[in-house]
A and B are shown apart, each in its own frame.
Chain A
Amino acid sequence: MKSITNVQIENELQKSALTPSRRNFLKTAGFLAVGIAASNADEIVPSASAQARSGPYIDPDYHQLDSWVVIHQDGTATFYVGKTDCGQGTGTSFRQLMSDELDIAYDKTTCIMGSTDITVDQGGSGGSTAMERDAWPMRRAAAEARRVLLDMGANELGVTVNQVAVSDGVISVKADPARKVTYGQLIGGKKFNVTLTGKDINAATGAAPVKPVQEHKIVGKSPQRYDIPAKVDGSLKWAVDVKLPGMVHARNVKPPVAGAKLVSIDESSVNKLPGFVKVVSKGNYVAVVCEREEQAIKAAKALKANWEKPATAPFPKSDDLFTFMRAATPTSTAKPILVGNPDTAFAGAAKVIEADYDIPFQGHTAISGAHATADPSNGQMTIYSNDMKSYGMRRGVATFLGIPQEQVRVVWMEGPQGYGRTAADDAGCEAAYIAKEIGRPVRMQWMRDEETAWDSKAPAFAVKVRGGLDAAGNLLALDYHAISADYNHLGYNEPDSVLIAQLMGVRRNPVPAGSSATPSEMYAIPHRRMAASVVSLPLIWETPVRTGNLRDPNGPQSTFAAESFIDELAAAANADPYEFRMKMLTASTTEDATFRRARSIACLKAVADLYGWDRRPSPKARATGDIATGRGLAYTFRNNTVVAQVAEVEVNRRTGHVWVKRLACAHDCGLVVNPESLRHTIECAMLHSLSRTLHEECQFDGAKTTGVDWITHPTLTHADTPEKIDVVLVNGDPNPNRPDLAPYGGGETACKPLLAAVANAIYDATGVRLRRVPFRAPRVLAALQTAKA
């Protein structure tokens, strides 16, 4: 029997790092050990790994240059970063940035990410901050390493630092290039012993400045992602692949309805089954543990338990959700943003229109269920997880289990998509809890129905928007009010909000208020009121309808309402949707520090050019036949990243089926590190939102969520894929040559405008306005029939 042991996992980590025990290195700067490892990694690793596993696990010090950069004797370098890569290629981009600062060839570097005992705590992933925030200390550390190496090289060559040049890790005398020394010769296997400054990790810096972007050689090019070959040849070991000696398999038994109370468990229903190990239960949390995976699946299904239904309904039926939300008293309302005097402006408007938009709860529903493997060996706790915030998981697990943080480490490994607060957080605590209970390594895996039904959801939004036009069709006043069902929004890896804690009766106090959202655009509208409220569902604990961050947590919802309504206003003004928007962008001359207005104009122009936008009001003249075609536009920004998109649709009037045939996107996120990787991320972000536009809805009856698989909770498929997707990377900065041109976030903004672009295209094609997501065929057909379109 072949199995992967933790030693082998260490082995894989070490081989990819070109170094033996990272922690051992950090402790001792073991020059000899590194030398041996570099020549014969397989033999040295097991003993080094045994040390590495023993704990306690002390945080790597971000003020030490050695925590970020290691140069090996063969002249290669390993970068250690406190981030995780959920499949957007951030690891490759970090290597590009750090290689450029260090002046070393890209292919002589590797990057180790996100394992809490060997990489500094940058928090893992989230908020599209990889390039915008977290790459900065990496760049500064690599620049400092270069500065130190140049000093050492000049000294070695007997000249001043001004008299040397460096290229690809080789330092030479400018006047006599034959005199040279390599990085590997200077420091290979030894420590820098250089202390960085900075009040926190984001400010960590040495004495060296980073290079002006014009001096980058690798940044701006598109080396292929280093993680992809092992993902297509089957050699990558994922978090789901971890196997440890003595490991058992656990499966949860979830309450059959939301808010149910466990009355009793009949253990005799499972304790004679093959491989049975234990039923683990506390409060309303129940899991079954067996020796083998298929045994645990069978036993969890077979377990007989009595549950008491709650006295009152946990939530309304999903069909009644928006009525419920609009009638509910808000739990909080942010102070409205007020510009001018909207009430007076509405009173004097030539035309006033208003509309309601509804966006349901939508889940992460990863391609595989949440999972984690926990190892309680040696009195420590190691968790192998794909959680994008491995550092938070470490803290959360330590607190949840009541053990010192130094006894816990999280080894980050790849897994199914991590776009926010996924159930990986929950599975990590569950695996660790059971491992501690039974004293054996435990692999926890959520099944499909759990993942779809119980993973955290993006909040539902009910939005009302009102607009007032003057006689010339200019937008005078806008009144926007969003209500989100987001009370008791989950944080990341919180020991008092992970599902197992809730089921055991833990209650966060105070209850998080949640959030709602107003639109993000640079339109000059003289009078506006923008308000955002939060409401609560009846049940906020132990419920599958629980909210957590999903890839721009509120952006797709608020932008759907805002940019659909701008289109409705353009139609009411009989104006072309592009010109209507452009007029409002160019009406102001006010810029912010990042030139978002100028960059919005540039993106809108770029997407119109890219698509070949024909200027005319929507809807277009009705054609005969079953298939109606149309195009729609939408635009927004997120922080400093600006996006404009066009969707072209075919609507089947007979069936209601919508096919988005073509997508075009203009995207400005400042400095682009890896254009091809960014383009791919943007394509997939758009299609992720297309899935939310056409298919996805967390549905529930009055007692439980009813989406439990890919039939009851459909997703985008190959057949839905556009036949053409065009992406143009815009640099709309009016001062493109400034040396500090900054990278902004690339992972989420493209998700935001897509829903509205599709809705606007359907209106253009059919004259029917869809204001309720998703646009599944029966809903579209009903709207077409009502409108006789």
Chain B
Amino acid sequence: MSITLKVNGSTHTVDVDPSTPLLYVLRNDIGLQGPRFGCGLGQCGACTVIINGNATRSCVTPCSAVKSEVTTLEGIAKSGKLHPLQQAWIDEQVPQCGFCQNGQIMTAKAMLDKNPHPTDAQIREGMNRTLCRCMTYYRVQAAIKRGAKMIADAGTAEKEVVA
């Protein structure tokens, strides 16, 4: 069956079984390997992409059910500049092995897009189902706070320029 997906601004048509999880279409047909297989059960978050502003687990999302644009880790940098959260991740030196960090970053981005100034408790709650087996949680949380500040500061600077 022919499925058309819009991903990171580009349109792709693929011929796959409609029940195929979005994860495998992204990784194997479209060549976007930022989202990764962790559990295939929607429990860990390593496969997270953003659809309609929501952090979505692509390993349990049939590709035929996707009607809106998909954003992957590869699609959040703009004009060659890293997303502030990606920069914050480097500044805080977050990863150990790094395998889960796609899920950490994309889940955090969706959270901050909805709530730019989360409390510590909201960060813990918002991130709680996104797992890391190297246990980088402490630095993930620090990087989210740093990234939130960078986004807020950039927003302030933009307003000043407009004014």
Tell me the A residues contacting B by CB distance below 8 Å: 1-4, 86-88, 224-225, 227-229, 231-238, 240-241, 243, 274, 292-295, 297, 365-369, 414-418, 445, 447-448, 676-677, 680-681, 683-684, 687-688, 690-691, 709-711, 715-723, 725
Tell me which residues across on chain B come within 8 A of A87, comparing CB atoms. 95-98, 134
Tell me which residues across on chain B come within 8 A of A445, comparing CB atoms. 37
Tell me which residues across on chain A come within 8 A of B29, comparing CB atoms. 1
Tell me which residues across on chain B come within 8 A of A415, comparing CB atoms. 97, 99
Cα distance, A229 to B72, chains bound together (Å) = 16
Q: Which of B19, B40, B98 contacts A231 (CB 8 A)?
A: B98
Output the least CB separation between B106 and chain A (Å).
10
Pair count A-B, CB < 8 A: 177
A234 touches B74 (CB 8 A): yes
Output the least CB separation between B111 and chain A (Å).
11
Given contacts A233-B77, A233-B82, A237-B33, contact A88 B124 (CB under 8 A): no
Q: Which of B37, B93, B125 contacts A228 (CB 8 A)?
A: B93
Kindly list 17 other residue pairs between chains A and B, CB separation below 8 angstroms, not including A87-B98, A367-B134.
Answer: A2-B31, A4-B31, A232-B82, A232-B86, A240-B33, A240-B37, A293-B27, A366-B99, A414-B98, A414-B99, A448-B38, A680-B96, A683-B138, A684-B134, A709-B41, A718-B124, A718-B141
Of the A-B pairs whose beta carbons lie under 8 Å apart in the complex, a sample of 27, sorted by A's number, is A228-B93, A231-B95, A231-B101, A234-B74, A238-B99, A297-B40, A365-B133, A367-B44, A367-B99, A415-B97, A416-B133, A418-B97, A445-B37, A680-B93, A680-B139, A687-B135, A688-B133, A688-B135, A710-B39, A710-B131, A717-B128, A718-B141, A719-B124, A719-B125, A721-B141, A722-B138, A725-B138
Q: Which of A232, A414, A418, A683 has the most CB of B within 10 A?
A: A232
Complex interface bits, B17-31 against A, C-beta within 8 A gives 1, otherwise 0: 101110010011111
* Majority SS at the chain B contact face: loop
B31 touches A367 (CB 8 A): no
Complex interface bits, B71-84 against A, C-beta within 8 A gives 1, otherwise 0: 01110010000100
B135 touches A716 (CB 8 A): yes
Output the least CB separation between A449 and chain B (Å).
9
Tell me which residues across on chain B come within 8 A of A228, comparing CB atoms. 89-90, 93-95, 98
Give the number of chain B interface residues (Cβ < 8 Å). 61
B24 touches A716 (CB 8 A): no
Output the least CB separation between B141 and chain A (Å).
6
Cα distance, A161 to B31, chains bound together (Å) = 54
A448 touches B133 (CB 8 A): no
B44 touches A684 (CB 8 A): no
B28 touches A243 (CB 8 A): yes
Q: Which of B36, B89, B141 contacts A232 (CB 8 A)?
A: B89
Q: Which of A4, A229, A445 has the most CB of B within 10 A?
A: A229
B137 touches A687 (CB 8 A): yes
Q: Give residues 31-61 of B contacting A (CB, 8 Å).
A: 31-34, 36-41, 43-44, 46
Output the least CB separation between A402 and chain B (Å).
32
Q: Does B127 contact A (CB under 8 A)?
A: yes
A367 touches B38 (CB 8 A): yes
B135 touches A691 (CB 8 A): yes
Given contacts A293-B24, A448-B39, A721-B138, contact A417 B96 (CB under 8 A): yes
Q: Does B148 contact A (CB under 8 A)?
A: no
Cα distance, A414 to B123, chains bound together (Å) = 28
Cα distance, A2 to B30, chains bound together (Å) = 6
Given contacts A1-B31, A224-B93, A718-B141, contact A294 B20 (CB under 8 A): yes
Tell me which residues across on chain A come within 8 A of B100, comparing CB atoms. 367, 416
